[in-house]
Amino acid sequence: MNQNPTTASATAHCDIYYDGACPLCRAEIDFYRRIGTRARFHDLTGGGATPVGVCRADALARFHVTDAGGRVRSGARAFAELWKASPGAWRILGHIAAVPPFVWIAEAVYRLFLRIRPRLQRLYRDRVGAGH
């Protein structure tokens, strides 16, 4: 794990690994930080370490979380762990999203998102860039 995460919580439930070069990812991580998600956030593009056993390319290609038990999760299972570490209704959603058939459905949706992610990133950059 990264020894110097950009944000750390003494009561972290998980470690979040994200693509800091992705404007969508940064915006989402900023949201989870603001709401008080109990996690350590690791920007993979800032020279941060990857999850144990995951190469940098794979870590950047899919969302990864290391849960409190040290298990590496990716995709929909990673989001379920992130939500479990978040307050309020997010925590409830995390517990629901972690079990079949919901995790299977969420994974299918996540895989579709990954296919259109580059286009969404461009649209987001264009929109945010035009707003400045």
| Coil/strand/helix, residue 62 | coil
What are the residue ranges spanned by the domains of the chain?
A: 14-130
**Cβ atoms of 64 and 73 closer than 8 Å:** yes
* Single-letter amino acid code for the residue at 37: T
Instruction: Give the integer Cα–Cα distance in Å for 43 and 6.
Output: 7
pLDDT per residue, tens digit, the chain (132 aa), is 433 444 444 567 999 999 998 888 999 999 999 999 999 999 999 777 899 999 999 999 999 999 999 999 999 999 999 999 999 999 999 999 999 999 999 999 999 999 998 888 888 778 876 554
Residue 39 CB neighbours (<10 A): 26
Instruction: Give the integer Cα–Cα distance in Å for 10 and 90.
Output: 20
